[in-house]
């Protein structure tokens, strides 16, 4: 049972990563309204069944949000997301039915099930509320949270994340701080993407030829507004988009130095050296992708890879925090019954 349960969880981790990447691809290719209703496409199961209605909408607004290719992108994402929901339901059922055999609380799988249901609602609101930035960003964060929690659930199934030596206590706190910073940077990245502010600063390392360009933080970070509009219904000014992009850049610098410093510190611990190298490598890749997106004016493949890189860096930080926490439990022997199962407390 342990092996099959672990396999199911890891398969769901991979599926969730695919859903996150597909979601980024749909958003960045302007296909979020390819099917303007939910959960079907013009009430049909596939865009093929709704082809006449899609063609009619496309002819009425050429170059608009609706077209057959965009509809397929959106629906493929929905098919994957639906499959993910069923997989998480299966995990929750097994966790409850086999909770004694697995020696684990089913709280985390149950929470994941609730999260994926809420994700479905956010997906619906993303379409029905016409890509409102706050909803789109929340949908992205829900996907990233689902991925991170599934990684946590998968890693705790194996005793390989235990290490023979206990790291110093400050390292655990720094790792938790690094995870928080990465999560906050993902929030900022989602806000940049949902407001189409990725090219508000088209130059490097300055922004619009200045280190601190004209910015409007009040409008840029006002949550309750329509896409591209101010709360008063006027067009969102460039200064607001600049504030969004500039803040994300500053966040990237902070994450680079803090997480990079954590990774370098971990190199001194032999049992964590491999994980440290992975964190440092992913951090460098992610920063390089961010720079390349600006330098090459946001090509779709690089933009999607930047989203995928954020998910992978988040997963590595989750793994790091879980491993340090597990090492602490292992050394202090506060829960001796968990040694027998090789499992941390839920």
Which residues form the catalytic set?
74
SS3 state at 208: coil
Residue 326 CA to residue 335 CA, distance in Å, equals 11
Residue 45 CA to residue 39 CA, distance in Å, equals 9
Q: DSSP label at 161?
A: G
Residue 285 CA to residue 267 CA, distance in Å, equals 18
Residue 224 CA to residue 244 CA, distance in Å, equals 15
Dihedral sign of CA atoms 62, 66, 68, 69 in order: positive
Which positions ≥6 away from 96 have C-beta within 8 Å? Answer: 106, 109, 110
Residue 157 CA to residue 6 CA, distance in Å, equals 6
Q: Which two tokens stand for residue 187?
A: 């929030």
């Amino acid at each position: 049972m342990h092996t099959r349960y672990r396999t199911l969880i890891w398969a769901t981790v991979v599926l969730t990563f695919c859903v996150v990447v597909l979601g980024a691809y749909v958003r960045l290719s302007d296909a979020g309204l390819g099917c303007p209703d939910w959960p079907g496409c013009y009430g049909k199961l596939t865009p093929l069944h709704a082809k006449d209605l899609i063609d009619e909408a496309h002819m009425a607004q050429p170059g608009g949000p609706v077209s057959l290719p965009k509809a397929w992108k959106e629906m493929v994402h929905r098919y994957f997301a639906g499959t993910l929901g069923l997989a998480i339901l299966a995990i929750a059922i097994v966790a409850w039915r086999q909770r004694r055999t697995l020696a684990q609380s089913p709280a985390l799988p149950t929470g994941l099930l609730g999260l994926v249901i809420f994700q479905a609602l956010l997906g619906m609101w993303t379409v029905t509320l016409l890509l409102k930035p706050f909803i789109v960003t929340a949908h992205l964060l829900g996907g990233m949270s689902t991925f991170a929690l599934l990684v946590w659930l998968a890693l705790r199934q194996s005793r390989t994340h235990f290490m023979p030596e206990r790291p110093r206590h400050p390292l655990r706190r720094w790792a938790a701080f690094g995870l928080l910073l990465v999560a906050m940077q993902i929030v900022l990245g989602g806000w940049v993407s949902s407001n189409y502010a990725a090219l508000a600063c088209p130059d490097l390392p300055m922004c619009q030829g200045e280190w601190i360009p004209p910015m409007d933080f009040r409008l840029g970070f006002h949550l309750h507004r329509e896409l591209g509009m101010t709360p008063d219904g006027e067009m969102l000014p460039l200064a607001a988009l600049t504030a969004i992009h500039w803040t994300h850049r500053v966040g990237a610098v902070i994450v680079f130095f803090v997480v990079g410093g954590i990774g370098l510190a971990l190199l001194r611990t032999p049992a964590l050296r491999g994980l440290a190298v992975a964190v440092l490598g992913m951090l460098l890749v992610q920063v390089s992708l961010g720079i390349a997106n600006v330098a090459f004016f946001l090509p779709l493949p690089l933009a999607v890879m930047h989203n995928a890189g954020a998910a992978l860096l988040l997963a590595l930080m989750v793994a790091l925090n879980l491993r340090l926490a597990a090492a602490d439990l292992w050394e202090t022997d506060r829960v001796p019954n968990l040694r027998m199962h090789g499992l941390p407390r839920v």
